Structure 1
């Protein structure tokens, strides 16, 4: 029975990665495992540059790339995560944002729509602030303004900080509901998600935590003139909904989407709703600007 389940999970993983082009790229003094989708195909849309959550490898979000077949997609494993080698020295948001521009240059990509989830949402904000000429629009999912945030549930945060969630499948399965809440935590699909995860190295995980130490985007967000879609789950135990409202108030050209019953992994549990919202937002004409509530 166990072997049969493994075969089914392996098949699901192969399906999610079937169109991905995986390469190892040396950029900015680092070697990164990079996945791209459809960059060599003609498109009327800009590619999406995606920043992943802490400790998460490319495979964890591959279904999202597959769900956007009309758009190019670029994602990479952070140093010490997934298939990227361990970082030799620490990095921060500034150096990693610059490294990302070097990667885009190497891929022949000038401008992108940027998306980030959780830890990657902070990187997405910083990239848009540091390199505004490379960014058209911004999508932020399950994220915050950094150190100035409403903290999550202590029980969830303590398990989130434990790398065992990537190493020990039993630990992950046992605490999945506490970690991620919402619809996916109650779903059999959680085993498919767990199967996609590859544990980060201890150094890689620590350096990701270190990169955001003391970081906040709050002072700069009122000056960021990028149309921004903020997506938050109302059952997120790790990044509570209030953080999304805070971002929405700070970013002049933002709109907010609340995923009802969505936990921290609402991109997977509410994938159809998220993809529809993303396509609508990215395809909206530049002249359209939605009035913000007072």
Structure 2
């Protein structure tokens, strides 16, 4: 089994009074593509989605563990989407990065929306995976939420194995069972404070009023069988974001990025590689001026 972390440059970064474990891939390699800034799901460590960096080997990546998750120390005080977006922008600046493609899954998809709104000049294209516009969302399956809130899903493989379909759906595809086991093996439980502060971060937050002003070309990806984030939430995002398109992953659950990896990566690559639109070209000229 390959280890996507073997090529990562992992550092502990002090930003705005917080210490964050940061991983980057291929930032020193010549490429025609901007790097990807990736925001992870709630409670998830970098390793959970690191396989994506292997699936897109021609691009650089920047990821970090949120305070109290993975190997980032516990946060001393709560944070919010504004301060974490500023923190992410500071990390990019430290690595000499300007414009990036921004991507986020689930909770991280909300962070990605906020970053793209707060730092429009740093965001080329935006990919939103299995996510919502925040508090103004259509709720998922109550059984999935009950199990998702149970910390055993991080530390008890038997619990996770038993309830995986309820939590994430989309596990009847060839190879999905292997992906499930691999994903469980990469998880590291967040601290209780880290998990609570991530929940508090988005309490009362919604992107809905601001989405019509989101300038970046946006790809919205939703799992047809997602038990946590109902697919209709993607339709809401599509209706509110001007330059957006939506792709529904047939049979995909909340983790379709892993269980339907080939299909997901193909859609992401097609979106990121598409020629620049008139809107993007005009924005680039305005920034240069």
Q: Offset of 1:162 from its aligned partner? A: 1.7
Counterpart for residue 50 of structure 2: 62
Match of 1:128 among 104, 110, 116: 116
Q: Offset of 1:122 from its aligned partner? A: 0.1
Quote the Cα distance in structure 1 between the aligned partners of 2:146 and 2:178: 24
Partner SS for 1:41? coil
Question: Could you say what the CA RMSD is over the residues aligned between the two structures, in angstroms?
Answer: 1.3
Counterpart for residue 39 of structure 2: 51
Quote the Cα distance in structure 2 between the aligned partners of 1:184 and 1:81: 30
> Does structure 2 conserve the Cα–Cα contact (< 8 Å) formed by 1:160 and 1:179?
yes
Is structure 2 residue 183 aligned with structure 1 residue 193?
Answer: yes
Match of 1:112 among 100, 112, 117: 100
Q: Offset of 1:274 from its aligned partner? A: 1.1
Counterpart for residue 226 of structure 2: 236
Provide, for residues 50-101 of structure 1, a one-character-per-residue CA deviation record: whole Å limited to 9, x for no partner: 0000000000001001110000011000000001000000000011111111
Counterpart for residue 33 of structure 1: 21
Quote the Cα distance in structure 2 between the aligned partners of 1:182 and 1:288: 37
> Does structure 2 conserve the Cα–Cα contact (< 8 Å) formed by 1:46 and 1:111?
yes
Partner SS for 1:187? helix
Provide, for residues 200-229 of structure 1, a one-character-per-residue CA deviation record: whole Å limited to 9, x for no partner: 000000000000000000000011111000
Alignment of 1:54-203 (within 5 A): 54-183=42-171, 187-203=177-193
Is structure 2 residue 247 aligned with structure 1 residue 250?
Answer: no
TM-score (norm 1): 0.92
Number of aligned positions between the proteins: 277
Is structure 2 residue 186 aligned with structure 1 residue 204?
Answer: no
Q: Offset of 1:184 from its aligned partner? A: 6.4
Quote the Cα distance in structure 1 between the aligned partners of 2:243 and 2:201: 27
Provide, for residues 125-168 of structure 1, a one-character-per-residue CA deviation record: whole Å limited to 9, x for no partner: 00000111110110000000000101000000111122221122
Counterpart for residue 206 of structure 2: 216
TM-score (norm 2): 0.93
Q: Which runs of 4+ in 1 moved over 2 A?
A: 183-186
Alignment of 1:266-281 (within 5 A): 266-281=256-271
> Does structure 1 conserve the Cα–Cα contact (< 8 Å) formed by 2:180 and 2:259?
no
Counterpart for residue 254 of structure 2: 264
Q: Offset of 1:171 from its aligned partner? A: 1.2
